[in-house]
């Protein structure tokens, strides 16, 4: 699942960059602006950030107070990591159900310039919540089973994962 997610993020980034470059070139060289490009770039960026958040959770590269936690005894480090992951999981459950409500309420509303259903944009909200929740559960399992408080081994730089 992680490799597919990473490639999706790469494709989104490529399309984001290409459309942004196209817009800049057309605006400055040809004095022409594409009406849809700003909206496309905005929605692509939202998709990239939310999907990349799942990868960040998988790799445990999120904001934290490692300096403080690293000085604590190992068992307390494990406890705090599990507690942190549980709090994230609770938030993600809330986020998932609220995003489903948003999807139902505004899913068929057309976007202002591209005229696509906003459901196409909003579907990333519950999808990313689900992906992040799966990775948080995996992190809790790894931490409890192995006492692992660092990133997943197969995704570590130099271990075959994407650096």
pLDDT tens for 3-14 read 888 999 999 999
Angle at CA of residue 76, ends 72 and 82, nearest 5° = 125
User: Would the pLDDT of 38 be above 60?
Assistant: yes
pLDDT at residue 123 tops 70: yes
Q: Which residues, in sequence order, are CB contacts of 128 under 8 Å at separation 6+?
A: 50, 51, 53, 54
Q: What is the pLDDT of residue 74?
A: 87
Whether 39 and 112 have beta carbons less than 8 Å apart is answered as yes
Phi, psi dihedral angles at 110 (to 5 degrees): -75, 145
Which is more confidently placed, 99 or 159?
Answer: 99
Confidence (pLDDT) at 154: 55
What is the C-alpha to C-alpha distance for residues 55 and 43, in angstroms, rounded to an integer? 19
Q: pTM score, two decimals?
A: 0.81
């Amino acid at each position: 699942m992680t490799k597919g997610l990473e490639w999706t993020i790469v494709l989104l980034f490529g399309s984001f960059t290409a459309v942004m470059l196209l817009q800049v070139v057309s605006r400055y060289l040809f004095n022409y602006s594409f009406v849809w490009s700003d909206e496309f770039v905005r929605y692509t960026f939202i998709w990239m950030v939310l999907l990349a958040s799942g990868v960040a959770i998988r790799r445990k590269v999120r904001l934290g107070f490692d300096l403080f936690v690293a000085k604590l005894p190992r068992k307390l480090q494990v406890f705090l990591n599990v507690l942190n992951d549980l709090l994230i999981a609770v938030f993600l459950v809330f986020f998932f159900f609220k995003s489903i409500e948003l999807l139902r309420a505004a899913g068929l509303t057309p976007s202002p310039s591209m005229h696509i259903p906003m459901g196409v944009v909003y579907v990333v909200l519950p999808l990313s919540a689900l992906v992040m929740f799966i990775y948080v559960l995996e992190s809790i399992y790894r931490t409890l089973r192995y006492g692992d408080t660092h990133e997943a081994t197969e995704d570590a730089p130099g271990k075959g994962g994407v650096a």
